[in-house]
């Protein structure tokens, strides 16, 4: 447990500079347990602390771990260039506390995206040494064939890659849709693998990371949720 002044607590949660947080408190915009706190020097235990700013409830979190059901036409970048950034789908406090995407999905790829301000978590989830499986559902332009599935499982050669890349699992869902499981996470990997196998990806959705399934989170497109410890543990499962 740690006991901190209220202005530092608000600053750590992304409510602005310490000066701005002091002004929030002095203006009577912050309450704890239903009581307005006007003294910036008041200290509180952060463990389990719940507070309100402008009447909106918040819970103190040392770090945030977020799952987002990413829609199409959003960029996984803190400085997007051609489309809105995924951070625009979250409360502005998250940008101020340096929340960032864990890896990237193309602007037209949808589905499960992790976000956090915990550097160790981001590194662990992004490291190719972890071999974390990621499940995608791809829709193709041309009808699928058993031969194409076999190619993806055996490995296809991509430009600038020293060795062929293979799917861990690949199975047809219908005539134009397949489920593919990858561990590498190379640039545009699913799209490039399908192209190398003689087809074209027209839509792509990530449905699982490790043992965490997007469907189990029950998130509409564009919605997000905090991940608890049990859900984060699923990310390490194959």
Cα first-last separation, the chain? 33
Q: CA 65 → CA 11, 119, 191, 208, 219, distances in Å?
A: 18, 11, 28, 16, 15
Counting other chains too, the contacts that 184-187 makes at CB distance below 8 Å and 24 or more residues apart are: 184/128, 185/103, 185/126, 185/128, 185/134, 186/158, 186/161
Active site residue 160: no
Active-site option among 106, 118, 218, 228: 106
Q: Residue 128 has which token pair? A: 């190719």
Q: Which residues are catalytic?
A: 106
């Amino acid at each position: 447990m740690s006991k901190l002044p209220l202005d530092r607590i608000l600053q750590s949660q992304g409510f602005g500079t310490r000066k701005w947080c002091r002004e929030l408190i002095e203006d009577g915009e912050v309450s704890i347990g239903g009581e307005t706190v006007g003294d910036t020097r008041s200290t509180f235990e952060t463990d389990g602390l719940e507070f309100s700013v402008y009447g909106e409830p918040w819970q103190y979190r040392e770090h945030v771990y977020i799952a987002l059901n990413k829609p199409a036409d959003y960029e996984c970048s803190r400085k997007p260039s051609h489309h809105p950034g995924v951070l625009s789908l979250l409360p502005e406090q998250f940008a101020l506390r340096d929340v960032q995407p864990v890896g990237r999905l193309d602007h037209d790829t949808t589905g499960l995206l992790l976000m956090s301000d915990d550097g160790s978590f981001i590194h662990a989830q992004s490291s190719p040494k972890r071999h974390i499986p990621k499940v995608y559902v791809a829709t193709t332009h041309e009808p699928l064939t058993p031969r194409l599935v076999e190619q993806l499982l055996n490995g296809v050669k991509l430009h600038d890659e020293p060795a062929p890349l293979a799917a861990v699992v690949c199975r047809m869902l219908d005539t134009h849709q397949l489920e593919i499981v990858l561990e590498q996470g190379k640039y545009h990997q699913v799209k490039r693998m399908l192209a190398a196998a003689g087809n074209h990806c027209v839509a792509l959705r990530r449905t699982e990371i490790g043992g965490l399934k997007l469907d189990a989170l029950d998130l509409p497109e564009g919605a997000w949720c905090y991940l608890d410890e049990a859900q984060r543990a699923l990310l390490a499962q194959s």
